[in-house]
Structure 1
Amino acid sequence: MNRLLACLVAVSAITAVSGCATDDMATGASVTRFHLGQPIARGPIAVEAADPRDTNGLEFAQISASVARELTRLGWTVVPNNASEQVAMVSLTQQARPAARRSGVTIGIGGGTASYGRHGGVGVGGGVEIPVGGAGPTLVVGSQLSVRIQRRSDATVAWEGRAQMEARGGSPLATRAGAADRLAAALFRDFPGESGRTIRVR
C-alpha cells in the first residue's frame, strides 16, 4: 500500500511539473500598477515606444494598437506621435526558458533566459536558440508589457503599470502580438487599479 501511494505521489509530481507550461494561462497575468490616487485627465494621448529604436517597427505597431484600444475604451483619444501633451510610453519584453522535461521518474527543469532582438534568432541559457519565426513547444515564453502615462513637457508620470505572463512556445500567446493583446487587457482592467498591489488577472 505504501509503495503504491509513493508511486502515485511520484506520478502526480511529474504530471504537475510537466504540465506547468501547458496550463500556464490558467493562472492568468500578474499585474502591478502605480499612481498617486488622483484623477487622471482623459484627452488626446499618443502611444509611443519607450525605446525610440522600436518606433517604426511592424511589431511595435501591433503592440501599440493593443494599448491604444484599451486607452480608447477608457476615454482617451489616441493621436499620432508628438501630437499631444499626454503620452503613453510602451515596451514589451520577452524571455524564454526550456519547458519542463520528463524522462522516466526523473524531473529536470532547464534554466536560462534571453531577450528577443529585433533581427534574427535569440540565444537562451544552455545553448537553446529562439528562431526568427518564434519559440517552439520545447520553450516557455515569458512576456512583460510595461506602460507609463506621463506628460511630454516634463515627463511627470501620472500612472504606470506592468503585466506579465507565460505561454507555451508556438502558441498564439507566445507571439508578441498575442501577448500584447492579452497583457494590455489585463493591465487596464479596473483602471487605474490599486496602487502598489500585485494582482492576478485571468
Structure 2
Amino acid sequence: MRLAPVLMLAALALAPSAVQAASPVEVTRFHTPATLAALGRGPITVVPAPGSDVSGIETRVFLEAVAAELNRGGIAVPGSGAPRTAEVRVTRSVATGERARSPVSVGVGGGFGSGNYRHGGLGGVGLGIGIGLGGGSKAMIDTELAVTLRDGSGASLWEGRADTRVKDKSRDAATQVVATRLARALFAGFPGRSGETIEVR
C-alpha cells in the first residue's frame, strides 16, 4: 500500500514538463502558382512594414529571425539593396481572457492580406514601444508575425502569418524565443498549402 504514494509523486514530478510545453503556433500561408513562379530564389531585403519602429530592439529581433529562416530554408538570400522585399509585421498584445484582450497593444499600421489575394486583416505593424506587456499571473501574451514577400514593383508574391499565445511570465514570452519560434513555424515546409491553417509545435 505504501508504493502508491511513491508512484503518485513520481508522476507529479514528470507532469511539469508537459504542463510547461510551449503552446502550438498557428500558421496560415497564401500564394498562387503564378506568384510562386515569379518569386524565384534570388536575393531579398528584409524590411519592417510601414509604421514600424525601425530603431526598436524587438523589431530588429524579428527581422533577424525572418532573415535567418529565409536563408536556412534556401528561400532567399537576405541582403540590403535587393529589389525584392520580405515585409515583416508584428503585433504583441495582452490577453486577459479566452478571447478578450486588454487595450494595451503594440503595433500600428496596415493589415495582413493587402496583396493580390486579400483575405482579411490579421494585425498591426511594429514593435519597440517602451511599455510593459505583463498583466498579472493569469495574463497571456498573443504574438503574431506576418510576412509578405514582394517583387521589385511591390506586388505580393507570398503571404503568411504565424501566431501563438503564451503565459506572460514564461520563458516562451521572451522576444528572442517567440521570434525564433514564429519565424521557424511560418517558413516550415515553405511555401505551404495556400489558405490552410496548421498547428506547428
TM-score, normalised by the number of residues in structure 1 = 0.70
**1:19-98 aligned within 5 A:** 25-26=22-23, 28-37=24-33, 38-39=36-37, 40-75=39-74, 76-80=76-80, 83-98=81-96
Q: CA RMSD in A?
A: 2.4
Q: Post-superposition shift, 1:182?
A: 0.5
Tell me the residue number matched to 1:4.
Answer: none
In structure 1, stretches of 5+ residues that fail to align are 1-21, 100-108, 123-129
Q: CA deviation at 1:170?
A: 1.6
Q: Is the 8 A contact 2:47 2:85 kept in 1?
A: yes
Instruction: Please identify which structure carries the higher strand content.
Output: 1
Whether contact under 8 Å (2:139, 2:167) holds in the other structure is yes
For residue 177 of structure 1, report the CA deviation from its aligned partner: 2.5
Cα distance in structure 2, aligned partners of 1:85 and 1:150: 9
Q: Which amino acid is the alignment partner of residue 184 of structure 2? A: A
Change (3 A) 1:53 1:193: closer
Does structure 1 conserve the Cα–Cα contact (< 8 Å) formed by 2:55 and 2:128? no
Q: Which residue of 2 aligns with 1:19?
A: none
Separation of aligned partners in 2, 1:136 and 1:91:
26
Other-structure match for 1:121: 131
What letter is aligned with 1:34? F
* Deviation of 1:140 (Å): 0.5
C-alpha contact 1:24 1:168 (8 A) present in aligned 2: no
From 91, 97, 100, give the equivalent of 1:111. 100
1:147–1:141 Cα change, 3 Å: same
Query: Equivalent residue of 2:192, what SS?
Result: coil
Q: How many angstroms apart in 2 are the aligned matches of 1:29 and 1:53?
A: 23
The one-letter code sitting in structure 2 at the alignment partner of 1:29 is V
**One-letter amino acid of the counterpart of residue 92, structure 2:** Q
> Larger Rg: 1 or 2?
1
Tell me if structure 1 keeps the 8 A contact 2:90–2:144: yes
Q: Name stretches of at least 5 consecutive residues in structure 2 with no aligned partner.
A: 1-18, 107-126
Aligned length: 159
Q: Separation in 1 of the partners of 2:179 and 2:57?
A: 13
Percentage of identical aligned residues: 33
Alpha-carbon distance, 1:171 to partner: 1.6
Q: Distance in 2 between matches of 1:24 and 1:60?
A: 26
Q: Hey, what does 2:195 align to over in structure 1?
A: 196
Deviations along 1:125-151, whole A, 9 cap, x unmatched? Answer: xxxxx3xxx555331001100000001
**What is the deviation of 1:110?**
8.6
Give TM-score scaled by structure 2 length. 0.70
Deviation at 1:52, TM superposition (A): 4.5
